[in-house]
Structure 1
């Protein structure tokens, strides 16, 4: 495990830098432009599914300043631009912007999460946030609900990748992340599990679960905590870049050599 830690630390030193961030498309590149606004960064994170270049291209074309306008004006601008992205049609995007505009007026995102964490588990704070957001708007569609995600009743099954990625941006206060939330511990964060990090984590022995689910994200997080219990998710971007770049085999040869 010591050889693995050294190798991951080396990858981290390259990935968690400005040059590493901009070495390939990533939604954090757009979120960084709005690093003082957790509502806009949340939109950036929740649209972050699919091809990274397509995500960045779509986010780059959005006009986030419309969130300060009246709802009728927001509707007109979104429909006029015809914004749509994969599962979200223009009406979905219109209602997403209206919901976020209401959230900016009515919600304290960090406080909701902090107040609803159970035994230090941030997943319950995420669940409470999703519930709070749905109360802001009665509109429903498959695209709208996919965007916000679905709450769980008792225990989470989904890895909630996009919310955990957003919280990594918001909570971590060093290198590429934004550090806007000051009342959540880095040690409580969960790995934003995606297909790249899942594949890499399985290959290097950080995950034994074949299922792409919350338990897998938690298992990887717990194993990364053996390397840094105070900030285990600092390794997220490095793991992601190893998978995204296609360099997994080279990394395996390195830690086995």
Structure 2
């Protein structure tokens, strides 16, 4: 494991720079950092599914001031707009919901109400509040927000929500650190296909299903490398998978194990 840690530490150091977020290597974080706003960042995180290029293209088309627009203005400006599973109405309703969340005290305040009982309870508090403040429902809208977490043993990996928390809590050249009062050691790995596959190949993760239990297992493993900030390895693991770095160097895996 010492060799794997050294490998990952080098990757973290190399990628913790502004140049890592660019048009050649698109990532939704580059759009979120353009506003440095917790609510616009939530939009960027929840729409972050699909190809990175398509995500960034869609997010870049959304003006920051949509968060404060009234419904009539939203309907005029977002008419005909859609993204994968979300229809134009889903997107309009999302911004109606987001405005209500901001006016009710904001995402951080709502998260902190549940966080006293744990990170997943904080996420559930936010998700439940989003549904409470807007009765609108559709498959695309509910896919966007996700489901409240009733049990970590039965939950999905909640990748987009865990990524949002990483952005909000950690502070470096990539993550924004806009929130205070949440410990980086409490964060859970945002587990997507790239991170899951790379972690399995490096022997960091045994679980064969990409779900919350796997995210918790990987987080626990990475705490052996850094108990205070295990998610510092997230972006590096993601990029290694996205860029097929292990495939390019077939000897890397065997030499590290």
- Pick the TM interval, shorter chain: over 0.9
What root-mean-square deviation, in Å, do the aligned CA atoms of Structure 1 and Structure 2 show? 1.5
2:148 maps to what in 1? Answer: 151
Judging changes above 3 Å, is the alpha-carbon distance between structure 1 residues 8 and 250 closer, same or farther for their aligned structure 2 residues?
A: farther
Q: 1:125 Cα deviation (Å)? A: 0.7
Pick aligned residue for 1:135 from 132, 136, 140: 132
CA distance in 2, matches of 1:208, 1:251: 22
CA distance in 1, matches of 2:247, 2:224: 23
1:70 maps to what in 2? Answer: 70
Q: Gaps spanning 5+ residues in structure 2: where?
A: none
Q: 1:241 Cα deviation (Å)? A: 0.3
1:132-190 Cα offsets, whole Å, 9 max, x none, are 11111111000000000011334451111001101101100122110000110100001
TM-score for both structures, normalised by structure 2: 0.94
**SS of residue paired to 1:129:** helix
Q: Gaps spanning 5+ residues in structure 1: where?
A: none
**SS of residue paired to 1:93:** helix
Pick aligned residue for 2:227 from 226, 229, 236: 229
CA distance in 2, matches of 1:115, 1:251: 46
1:208-244 Cα offsets, whole Å, 9 max, x none, are 0110100000111110110001100000000000000
Q: 1:117 Cα deviation (Å)? A: 2.5
**SS of residue paired to 2:78:** helix
**SS of residue paired to 1:92:** helix
Aligned length: 253
CA distance in 1, matches of 2:230, 2:249: 20
2:90 maps to what in 1? Answer: 92
Q: 1:9 Cα deviation (Å)? A: 0.6
Q: 1:251 Cα deviation (Å)? A: 5.8
- Please say which of residues 153-162 and 213-222 is displaced more in the overlay: 153-162
Q: 1:109 Cα deviation (Å)? A: 1.6
1:27 maps to what in 2? Answer: 28
1:122 maps to what in 2? Answer: 119
- Is the 8 Å Cα contact of residues 171 and 185 (structure 1) preserved in structure 2? yes
- Please say which of residues 109-118 and 246-255 is displaced more in the overlay: 246-255
